[in-house]
Amino acid sequence: MLILFLGAGGTGGYFGGRLAQAGKDVVFLVRPGRQAQLARDGLRITSPFGDARVAVRAVQRAYEDLAGAGFDLALCADVRREMWEKYVFLATLAAMTCLLRASVGEICATRHGRGLMLETFAGCQAVARAEGVELSEQGRRHTEGFLTDPASTLTASMLRDLEKGGRTEADHVLGDMLERAAAHGLRLPLLEAAYAQLQAHERRIAGR
């Protein structure tokens, strides 16, 4: 099992180093400067329980391993922002395709669909901003393009679950986004409507 440590400082460096010393498969996610230092000097542990100097792998090596397996990869300088860009996209897509029971292209082909999609997208971005994350301009344009493509057949997997009459992940995606919004005094009416619909669906199938 590969064990990933976020950083190689006092805590991650110590416990990760001890695991590596014990022969476990450990990799550290670190900044480029720290990666170069670890590659050059190894990880040094100074402790009352015994000092150690351990050769460890940092993210550059993990990247090489994965790239060799045929994946398309990119090193990310701001993981939290990347996660929020994905979350904002997913929440918007799930809310709108479930609420209107249609694909992105079908929604954007209607008179008000594109505007409603962008309104929901803007609301989710406001939540991210309130959480301390500003989407990159490139990420914003990229996501907006996906959400407003009139030829797109894209739908959320949540809609497919809904149409099959199954359980959905509404609580984990829309519910969580709305909780975060409420904590900052924000309202997302379309997201609220989509979540209410999905909750009603969950109650109905629970009573079967």
Residue finishing a domain among 34, 67, 100: 67
Number of domains in the chain: 2
Q: pTM for this one?
A: 0.70
Q: Is 2 helix (H, G, I), strand (E, B) or coil?
A: strand
* Residue 63 vs residue 197, higher pLDDT: 197
Q: Is residue 74 part of a domain?
A: no
Average pLDDT of the residues of the chain: 88
User: Are both 54 and 118 inside the same structural domain?
Assistant: no
185-207 average pLDDT score: 95
CA distance 141 to 128: 16
> Residue 2: pLDDT above 80?
no
Do 202 and 111 lie in one domain? The reply is: yes
Domain for residue 165, yes or no? Answer: yes
Angle between the 189-206 and 176-183 helix axes, to the nearest 10 degrees?
Answer: 140
Of 167 and 56, the structure prediction assigns the larger pLDDT to 167
Report yes or no: 5 and 12 within 8 Å, Cβ to Cβ: yes
- Domain co-membership, 62 together with 122: no
Domain boundary among 39, 67, 95: 67
Domain range holding 148? Answer: 79-206
Query: Reduced to 3 states, what is the DSSP secondary structure of residue 23?
Result: coil
Contact residues for 167 (Cβ-Cβ < 8 A; gap 6+): 161, 202, 205
* Contact predicate 147/90, CB 8 Å: no
Last residue of a domain, one of 43, 67, 91: 67
Do residues 172 and 90 both lie within one domain?
yes
CATH of the domain at 201: 1.10.1040.10
Interatomic CA distance for residues 148 and 88, integer angstroms: 14
Closest CA to 173 of 165, 184, 181: 181
Task: Give the model confidence (pLDDT) of 113-133 as tens digits.
Answer: 999 999 999 999 999 999 999
